[in-house]
Each structure stands twice: as structure tokens, then as C-alpha cells.
């Protein structure tokens, strides 16, 4: 089997994540630079020592001798080949099947890749799950960069969610939401976004975010005509978009698709309440579940998607009382947006909460649920204004600080060399 090395990313000096791919499988593994062993492999397709031999050999060739640090990690090649990272210790892969147990917590570093088991375990412990959108490489890197660092070699890592306030856990789930249609592409609604456009954004996010669980929306229309359409679209999000799971808006009408995807091993996050892909049919972005029949529908939709196999469900713009009631009764975690603190987790659009002027955040207004944690838009405007002023005043670039020198001797030689042509010009 011929292995091809795809871009290899050095995340920090003590942790290296490699992405290896061939036509059949894509593997990501994280190496502990201090011990040269596999800290975590993000694929379960490669289980045996011989499975690893080819990719590790090809990456060794690629990494040495140009990159001295990464090469050190391969000094213990045997350890890599015979590795026993937590995910490969005979565990079953966790799909949308409500696994309730998680393996020995001590086996995990605090910032290994998040899994569905973690979300179930967090729900059980009543520790909120954090989710935030990422629409491109920088916003994904931003999420990755706030994750707590890996522990010192030999340290006994704390189990995920063991401490809710002392140690920040970073963002558990990065969502490539179709809100990117409006936020990143300037479309008037999420329904303009095509599957190909979504895939382009997914690939960029996956390159920047290696430890959060990656979820992408199935765009409007990509699953409407048939279950087969939905399966093909979801497979593309996993295979070409490099996502871990898909999110689908809807209730009982998407149950057959959730069932099918769960059967083939694609985890599904459901989305009920205010479903933006139906904003025209719902006569706008309106809070759902405020009347008896609407509240019953939210509850029944949530039950239907859970029973179909969804591993989690987004509750958008529903009364907090209803969301808390539903959360208490569902086995799967609920992720709220405009649904109150009684949910098992929260999600916001990154540019909204940063206070960048997004489609919803512009002009200081926005939905009630939106909290701006910063005013990045105003800071960015101030910066651009300063740049414009300094350029006009010739204060930027500053001589010596932002410029490259030429030695006097070279300069005099240059003037001598161009004497003739200078006169002609
Ligand atoms: N930047 C951004 N953030 C989002 O959260 C987001 C998008 N874009 N685009 C897609 C959908 C649209 N979303 C929206 C848009 C508007 C409201 C809104 O205006 N809500 C009213 C409710 C009015 C009512 O029914 O009482 C509010 O005042 O909160 C809610 C969600 C959420 N999604
Ligand atoms: C706001 C979240 C839940 C979403 O669906 C999106 O970003 O598209």
C-alpha cells in the first residue's frame, strides 16, 4: 500500500500531530515529543503494528533531516509501531449508540481528542459541554489554542470534566455551522450554502482544530430529496470535509436518515426548536415552544431524534423552562442556544460572541440569547483606522524597524553599476 504524507502540522514543541492518508484511509496521530511514543491516534482503522509500519516509515522520511525536533519523535520507532494509545486498547468506537462507560480516565491526557463518550460522561456529571462555531482555519486555530496544554510526561492526567472551574477545558465541540453562509459568505440565509461550499470550510477547520470533536451541518437541500442523498452528503462531510459527525435540523421527518447514518457509523447531532433552514416556512427566526402545541412538538422532536440514534441534540430558541425539562428527560446531551443554562451544553457563533459585526451582531442588536464577550469589531476598526492614518503620515513603515537595510558598500556598488541607465531613464 502506497502511503502519501499530507500536510504535517507541528502544534507545539512537545506535541506533534501528523496527518497521513492514502486512498483508503486517513490517519491522524499525535506524538509525545518527549517520549517519542504515540500519545493518541485519531483513527481506529489502524490497529496493529504492521498497519502502522508504512505510514510511520514514510513520515520519518519526510520529517528528517529538515526538522530536527520531529525527527526525535521517531527515534523510538518501535514504540510507535507497538503503540498502545488509549483509543486502540481494544475499545469499541463510540457512535451514536449512547455508550455510558468511559475507559480508565488516567489513560487520557486532558487535551486528547474529544469523543461522544466524553459528552455522555459530562452529562452524567452535570459538567456543561462547550461548543463554538469555527468557519475557517484561523477560527479553528483560535479554538485549539485555548485548550489546556498536554501534561508533563509521567503526570497523571485529570479525567475530562473532573474540574469545571479550576482548569479550563477548552472547547469540546467545534461546529462548522451553516451560519457560515451568512457570517462568512454574506448570503441572506443559510439556505444558499451548497454542500461543496460547506466542504471547503470544513477542510479548513479540520486543518486547524485537532482536539475538539468536529461537527458540520448538512446544508439545506443536501438531504431533502432522499435518504440516499443525505447519506452521500454526510459521507462527503466525513471523508472530504474531515469531520467527526454531522448535524441535521429537523424532527420526525429526518428520523429515517438519522437511523441510516447511525447504522453506517456516522454520528448525528440533531437540531430542534428554531431550525434556521426553515425560517421562511416558520415565518422568520421565532422562538419555538411557547404555546402548548409548540412545546409538545419540541419535546416530541427531541424524543424522535434521540430514539433514531442521535448522540446529542441542539435546542435553539426555546423557553429555558422547557429546555431544562427536556434535558432532564433525555439520555443524550442537549446543547442550547437561546435555551437557558439548564441544557447540558451551550453553543454560540464565534464571531457573534467576539463582538465582530456579524449578520446578527451588527448595529449592537442581535437575538436576545447573544452575549458579546468582547468588542473585537471595534478593536479591529480602531486598528485599521490607525494603519490608514500612519500610512498617510508616512509613519508606517518605520525606518529600521519594519525595513531591510543594505550595506553601504553594496549600495555604492549599485549606484556605480546603474550610473549609465539612471541617466537614460
Ligand atoms: N451570526 C449568526 N448567529 C446565529 O446564531 C445564527 C446565524 N448567524 N444565522 C443562522 C441562524 C439564525 N439565527 C437566529 C436569527 C435571529 C434570531 C432572532 O431574531 N430571534 C429573536 C426572537 C424573536 C421572537 O420570536 O420572539 C430574538 O429577539 O431573540 C434568532 C436566531 C441563529 N443563527
Ligand atoms: C448556531 C448554531 C447552533 C448553528 O446551527 C450554526 O452555526 O449554523
Cα–Cα distance for residue pair 84/5, rounded to 1 Å: 22
Q: Relative to the alpha carbon of 319, which ligand is closest?
A: 1
Task: From first to last of the 425 residues of the chain, give the pLDDT tens digit.
Answer: 333 333 333 333 334 555 554 434 445 555 554 454 555 554 444 444 444 545 555 555 444 333 333 333 333 332 333 344 443 343 333 334 333 333 333 333 457 899 999 999 999 999 999 999 999 999 999 999 998 765 566 665 555 545 444 445 799 999 999 999 999 999 999 999 999 999 999 999 999 999 999 999 999 999 999 999 999 999 999 999 999 999 999 999 999 999 999 999 999 999 999 999 999 999 999 999 999 999 999 999 999 999 999 999 999 999 999 999 999 999 999 999 999 999 999 999 999 999 998 777 666 668 999 999 999 999 999 999 999 999 999 999 999 999 999 999 999 999 999 998 887 66
Instruction: List beta partners, residue 354.
Output: none
Q: Is the CB of 359 under 6 A from ligand 2?
A: no
Q: Which domains does the chain have, with CATH numbers?
A: 4-88 (no CATH), 105-348 (3.20.20.60), 389-424 (no CATH)
3-state secondary structure (DSSP) of residue 202: helix
3-state secondary structure (DSSP) of residue 55: helix
3-state secondary structure (DSSP) of residue 238: helix
Q: Is the CB of 314 under 6 A from ligand 1?
A: no
82-100 burial: b if 16+ Cβ within 10 Å, else e: ebebbbbeebeebbbeebe
Which residue is closest in CA terms to ligand 1's atom 22? 286
Closest ligand 1 atom to the C-alpha of 286?
A: 25
Instruction: List beta partners, residue 217.
Output: 247
Q: 79 CB contacts (<8 Å, ≥6 apart)?
A: 35, 36, 37, 38
For residue 217, CA distances in Å to 152, 186, 202, 341, 359 come to 36, 17, 10, 23, 18
pTM: 0.75
Hey, which of 367, 372, 377 would you mutate to test ligand 1's pocket, going by the most ligand atoms within 8 Å of its Cβ? 367
Residue with cell 479540520: 206
Catalytic residue among 101, 316, 382, 401: 316
Q: Relative to the alpha carbon of 357, which ligand is closest?
A: 1
Question: Is 301 in contact with 254 (CB distance < 8 Å)?
Answer: no
- Residue 253 CB neighbours (<10 A): 10
Q: Relative to the alpha carbon of 246, which ligand is closest?
A: 2
Ligand 2 centroid–CA 178 distance in Å is 6
Q: What is this model's ipTM?
A: 0.97
Task: Output Rg (C-alpha) for the chain, integer angstroms.
Answer: 25
* Whether 316 is catalytic: yes
Ligand 1 centroid–CA 308 distance in Å is 27
Amino acid at each position: 500500500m502506497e502511503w502519501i504524507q499530507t500536510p504535517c502540522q507541528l502544534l507545539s514543541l512537545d506535541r506533534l500531530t501528523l496527518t497521513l492518508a492514502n486512498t483508503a484511509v486517513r490517519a491522524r496521530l499525535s506524538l509525545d515529543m518527549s517520549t517519542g511514543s504515540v500519545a493518541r491516534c485519531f483513527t481506529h482503522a489502524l490497529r496493529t503494528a504492521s498497519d502502522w509500519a508504512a505510514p510511520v516509515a514514510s513520515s520519518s522520511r519526510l520529517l528528517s533531516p529538515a526538522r530536527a525536533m520531529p525527527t526525535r519523535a521517531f527515534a523510538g520507532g518501535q514504540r510507535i509501531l507497538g503503540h498502545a494509545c488509549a483509543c486502540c486498547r481494544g475499545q469499541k468506537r463510540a457512535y451514536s449508540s449512547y455508550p455510558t462507560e468511559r475507559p480508565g480516565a488516567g489513560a487520557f491526557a486532558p487535551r486528547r481528542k474529544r469523543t461522544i463518550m466524553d459528552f455522555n460522561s459530562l452529562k452524567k456529571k452535570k459538567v456543561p459541554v462547550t461548543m463554538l462555531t469555527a468557519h475557517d482555519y484561523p477560527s479553528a486555530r483560535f479554538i485549539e489554542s485555548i485548550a489546556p496544554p498536554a501534561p508533563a510526561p509521567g503526570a497523571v492526567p485529570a479525567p475530562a470534566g473532573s474540574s469545571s472551574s479550576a482548569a479550563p477545558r477548552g472547547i469540546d465541540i467545534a461546529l462548522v455551522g451553516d451560519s457560515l453562509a451568512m457570517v462568512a459568505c454574506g448570503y441572506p440565509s443559510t439556505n444558499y450554502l451548497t454542500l461543496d461550499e460547506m466542504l471547503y470550510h470544513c477542510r479548513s477547520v479540520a486543518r486547524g482544530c485537532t482536539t475538539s470533536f468536529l461537527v458540520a451541518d448538512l446544508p439545506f437541500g443536501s438531504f431533502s430529496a432522499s435518504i440516499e442523498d443525505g447519506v452521500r452528503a454526510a459521507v462527503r462531510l466525513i471523508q472530504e470535509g474531515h469531520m467527526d459527525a454531522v448535524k441535521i435540523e429537523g424532527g420526525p421527518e429526518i428520523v429515517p436518515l438519522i437511523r441510516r447514518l447511525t447504522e453506517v457509523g456516522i454520528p448525528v447531532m440533531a437540531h430542534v426548536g428554531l431550525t434556521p433552514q426553515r425560517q421562511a416556512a416558520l415565518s422568520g427566526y421565532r422562538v419555538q415552544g411557547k404555546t402548548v402545541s409548540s412545546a409538545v412538538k419540541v419535546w416530541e422532536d427531541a424524543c424522535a431524534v434521540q430514539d433514531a440514534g442521535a448522540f446529542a441534540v441542539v435546542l435553539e430558541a426555546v423557553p429555558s423552562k422547557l429546555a431544562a425539562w427536556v434535558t432532564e428527560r433525555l439520555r443524550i446531551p442537549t446543547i442550547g442556544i437561546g435555551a437557558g443554562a439548564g441544557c447540558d451544553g451551550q453553543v454560540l457563533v464565534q464571531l457573534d460572541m467576539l463582538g465582530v459585526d456579524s449578520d446578527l451582531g451588527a448595529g449592537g442588536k442581535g437575538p436576545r440569547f447573544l452575549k458579546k464577550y468582547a468588542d473585537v469589531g471595534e478593536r479591529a476598526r480602531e486598528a485599521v483606522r490607525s494603519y490608514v492614518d500612519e500610512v498617510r503620515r508616512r509613519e508606517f513603515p518605520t525606518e529600521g524597524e519594519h525595513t531591510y537595510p543594505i550595506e553601504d558598500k553594496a549600495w555604492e556598488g549599485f549606484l556605480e553599476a546603474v550610473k549609465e541607465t539612471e541617466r537614460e531613464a
